[in-house]
C-alpha cells in the first residue's frame, strides 16, 4: 500500500511552506509536500534578466510602517533582504499623451480626483442597487487620461475599496524587493526551520518536486492523492494550497466532488422522494432516507463550496521587462513611475524604471492586466516588443534605441497558476471566503485566497498558511481518542 503520512501539503508557495513550518513547530514532522513545478515559491519567482534579478510574480512588500508589523516585512528584515521604497503617488504627475506631452499637473490632479469621486459614486450605486434602490451610476471614463487613471485606480492599486486592511493594519508604505537572492529567499529561510537544507538547497526528501496532483480521493479515513506520474500517496489530512485559478480549473479532481448547491438541491429532492417512499416502508427506502439526510446535513455545514470557488474572480497581472542599451527616460526624484494615456484602457499604461532598484541596469517594466495580459500571452514576444516600442516612441520620440531583450511572464497560461491572484467582488461579505476556506472532510484549504483580510498578497498567503489550527485541533482530538482506546484496551 502507498506510504501514509500524517499530512500532505499540496503546493510549495508561501502558504504551503508556512503551513509546513507551523506543523513542524507543533510536532507534526511526518509530512510530505507535493509541488507540481521544479521549484518552491509559486507566485514568488525571480529570474535573471539583463544582468540583474527581477521578480516575475510578487515584487513588493505591501503594508509597512503602520501600527502592527507586517510578518513578511519582519521576515525580510531578519534575512537582510534588500528593498527600495516605492512612491507611486508621483505617477499621476508623469502622464504622457500619444504625442509625448506630459499632462500639466493641475489637469492630472483634477482627473485623478474626478476618477476617485466616480469610483465612490459607482460603489454607492452598486450598494443601493443591491438593496433595491435605483441610483444611476455616474458616467464612465472616456478620454485617454480618464481611462489611464481609472486603470491605475482599479487594476493597478489592487481593485480594493477603502479602507484597505493591509494599509489599516500594517501601514501604507510599499517596498520593492531588489535583491539578487530574490523575494523567494524568504521561503528558503522558512524552509530551513523544518526541512533539511545544505548550501541554500533543500535536500529533504519530504519535499517532492515535479509532482502534479491530479486526484484527491477523500473519506473519513483520510485522503488518497494521485499524481500525474502515477504515484499514490496517503495521509490523514491534506492541506491544499493551490491558487484559486487552479481550483477553478480541472487540474485536480475531487472524489467525491466538492459540495455544490445543485447537489444540495438534489439532496433535498432526494429527501422528499425518500419521504414519499417512506409511506411504503421498505429497507431500501429507509437506507435512501438515511443516506440523503446525512448528505444534506453535511452540505448544510459546508455549503456551496464549489460555487464560492467559481464566484471568486482571478486577476491576471503581468509585468513585462525590457532591457535597453541606454537610458532615454527621465530619472531622479518623482520619476520612477510614469503613465501612458491611450484611448484603449490598459494599453501599456503603467511604467516603472528600475534605476532605483538596480542603478545602471537600463531596464523598464510595464504592467498589463486581465484582458490585455491574456492578449499578450497569446501572441509572440516579438509582437509584444514591437507594440511596447511603439508606445515608448510615442512618449519619448522616434530616435530611442530598440530594446535588446524582453521577458514576458505568462501567469494565465501556466496551468499551476491560472492567473495572478484572487480578486473578491467589491461588494461581498466574508461568506465567500469562509466557504472557500472551509475544510471538506480531511482536506483543508489554504493560500492567499483563503485570507479574509489580506487576500491577493504575499502576507495573506503567509498568514493563511500559518493558520492551521483547525487541523491541529482535529489532529490532537484524534490522537487523544487513540490514546484513550489504547488505555482501555
Q: Which positions lie near ligand FAD, rule CB under 6 A? A: 10-16, 34-37, 42-44, 57-60, 62, 212-213, 241-243, 246, 251-252, 317, 319, 411, 416-417, 420-421, 447-448, 456-458, 460-461
> How far is Cα 123 from Cα 137, in angstroms, rounded to an integer?
9
- Nearest distance, CB of residue 44 and ligand FAD, angstroms: 5
Check the annotation: does 12 bind a ligand. Answer: no
Of 99 and 205, nearer to ligand FAD (C-beta) is 205
Q: How far is the CB of 297 from ligand FAD (least distance, A)?
A: 30
Q: Tell me whether residue 214 or residue 311 sits nearer to ligand FAD (CB atom).
A: 214
Signed CA dihedral, 53, 319, 350, 86: sign only: negative
Nearer to ligand FAD, 264 or 457 (CB): 457
CB 70 to ligand FAD: min, Å: 9
CA distances (Å), origin 346, targets 121, 313, 464: 22, 18, 31
Q: Which of 40, 115 has the CB closer to ligand FAD? A: 40
Least distance CB 260 / ligand FAD (angstroms): 20
Closest CB 62 distance from ligand FAD, rounded Å:
5
For residue 197, the minimal CB distance to ligand FAD (Å) is 18
Shortest spacing between CB 33 and ligand FAD, in angstroms: 9
Nearer to ligand FAD, 43 or 323 (CB): 43
Residue closer to ligand FAD by CB (options 56, 295) is 56
36 is in an annotated binding site: yes
Nearer to ligand FAD, 70 or 94 (CB): 70
- Residue 121 among known ligand-binding residues: no
In the complex, least distance from residue 377 CB atom to ligand FAD, rounded to whole angstroms: 12
Q: Which is nearer to ligand FAD, 270 or 447 (CB)?
A: 447
Residue 452 among known ligand-binding residues: no
Per residue, the 3-state secondary structure of the chain, as one string, reads CCCEEEEEEECCCHHHHHHHHHHHHCCCCCEEEECCCCCCCCCCCEEEECCEEEECCCCEEEEECCCCCCHHHHHHHHHCCCEEEECHHHHHHCEECCCCCECCHHHHHHHHHHHHHHHHHHHHHHHHHHCCCCCCCCCCCCCHHHHHHHHHHHHHCCCCCCCCHHHHHHCCEEEEECCCCCCCHHHHHHHHCCCCEECCEECCCCEECCCCEEEEEEECCEEEEEECCCCEEEEEEEEECCCHHHHHCCCCEEECCCCCHHHHHHHHHHHHHHHHHCCCCCHHHHHHHHHHHHHHHHHHHCCCHHHHHHHCEEECEEEEEEECCCCCCCCCCCCCEEEECCCCCCCCCEEEECCCCCCCCCEEEEEEEHHHHHHHHHCCHHHHHHHHHHHHHHHHCCCCCCCCEEECCCCCCCCCCCCCEEECCCCCCCHHHHHHHCCECCEEECCHHHCCCCCCCHHHHHHHHHCCHHHHHHHHHHHHHHHHHHHHC
Residue with Cβ nearer ligand FAD (208 or 327): 208
Rounded to whole angstroms, how far apart are CA atoms 319 and 56?
Answer: 7
In the complex, what is the shortest distance from the CB of residue 121 to ligand FAD, in angstroms, rounded to a whole number?
A: 29
Question: Residue ranges for the binding site for FAD?
Answer: 15, 35-36, 213
Question: Residue ranges for the binding site?
Answer: 15, 35-36, 213
Amino acid at each position: 500500500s502507498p506510504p501514509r503520512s500524517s499530512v500532505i501539503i499540496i503546493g510549495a508557495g508561501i502558504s504551503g511552506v508556512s503551513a509546513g513550518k507551523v506543523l513542524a513547530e507543533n510536532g507534526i514532522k511526518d509530512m510530505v509536500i507535493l509541488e507540481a513545478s521544479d521549484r518552491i515559491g509559486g507566485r514568488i519567482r525571480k529570474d535573471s534578466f539583463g544582468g540583474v534579478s527581477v521578480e516575475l510574480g510578487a515584487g513588493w512588500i505591501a503594508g509597512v510602517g503602520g501600527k502592527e508589523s507586517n510578518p513578511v516585512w519582519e521576515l525580510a528584515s531578519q534575512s537582510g533582504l534588500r528593498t527600495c521604497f516605492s512612491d507611486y503617488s508621483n505617477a499621476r504627475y508623469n502622464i504622457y499623451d500619444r504625442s509625448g506631452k506630459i499632462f500639466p499637473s493641475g489637469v492630472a490632479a483634477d482627473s485623478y480626483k474626478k476618477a476617485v469621486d466616480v469610483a465612490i459614486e459607482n460603489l454607492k450605486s452598486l450598494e443601493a442597487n443591491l438593496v433595491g434602490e435605483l441610483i444611476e451610476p455616474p458616467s464612465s471614463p472616456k478620454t485617454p487620461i480618464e481611462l489611464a487613471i481609472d486603470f491605475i485606480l482599479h487594476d493597478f492599486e489592487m481593485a480594493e475599496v477603502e479602507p484597505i486592511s493591509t494599509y489599516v493594519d500594517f501601514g501604507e508604505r510599499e517596498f520593492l524587493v531588489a535583491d539578487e537572492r530574490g523575494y523567494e529567499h524568504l521561503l528558503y529561510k522558512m524552509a530551513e526551520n523544518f526541512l533539511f537544507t545544505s548550501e541554500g538547497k533543500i535536500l529533504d526528501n519530504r519535499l517532492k518536486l515535479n509532482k502534479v496532483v491530479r486526484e484527491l480521493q477523500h473519506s473519513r479515513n483520510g485522503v488518497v492523492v494521485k499524481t500525474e506520474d502515477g504515484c499514490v500517496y496517503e495521509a490523514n489530512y491534506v492541506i491544499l494550497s493551490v491558487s484559486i485559478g487552479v481550483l477553478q480549473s480541472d487540474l485536480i479532481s475531487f472524489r467525491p466532488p466538492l459540495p455544490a448547491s445543485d447537489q444540495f438541491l438534489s439532496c433535498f429532492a432526494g429527501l422528499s422522494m425518500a419521504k414519499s417512499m417512506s409511506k411504503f416502508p421498505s429497507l431500501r427506502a429507509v437506507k435512501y432516507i438515511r443516506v440523503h439526510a446525512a448528505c444534506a446535513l453535511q452540505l448544510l455545514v459546508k455549503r456551496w463550496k464549489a460555487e464560492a470557488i467559481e464566484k471568486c474572480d482571478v486577476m491576471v497581472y503581468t509585468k513585462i521587462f525590457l532591457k535597453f542599451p541606454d537610458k532615454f527616460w527621465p530619472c531622479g526624484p518623482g520619476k520612477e513611475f510614469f503613465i501612458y494615456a491611450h484611448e484603449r484602457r490598459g494599453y501599456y499604461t503603467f511604467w516603472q524604471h528600475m534605476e532605483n532598484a538596480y542603478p545602471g541596469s537600463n531596464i523598464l517594466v510595464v504592467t498589463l492586466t486581465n484582458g490585455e495580459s491574456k492578449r499578450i500571452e497569446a501572441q509572440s514576444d516579438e509582437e509584444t516588443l514591437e507594440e511596447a516600442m511603439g508606445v515608448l516612441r510615442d512618449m519619448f520620440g522616434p530616435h530611442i534605441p530598440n530594446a535588446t531583450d524582453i521577458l514576458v511572464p505568462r501567469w494565465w497560461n501556466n496551468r499551476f497558476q491560472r492567473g495572478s491572484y484572487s480578486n473578491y467582488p467589491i461588494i461581498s461579505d466574508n461568506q465567500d471566503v469562509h466557504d472557500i476556506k472551509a475544510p471538506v472532510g480531511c482536506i483543508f484549504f489554504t493560500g492567499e485566497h483563503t485570507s479574509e483580510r489580506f487576500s491577493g498578497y504575499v502576507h495573506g498567503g503567509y498568514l493563511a498558511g500559518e493558520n492551521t489550527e483547525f487541523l491541529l485541533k482535529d489532529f490532537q482530538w484524534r490522537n487523544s481518542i487513540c490514546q484513550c482506546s489504547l488505555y482501555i484496551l
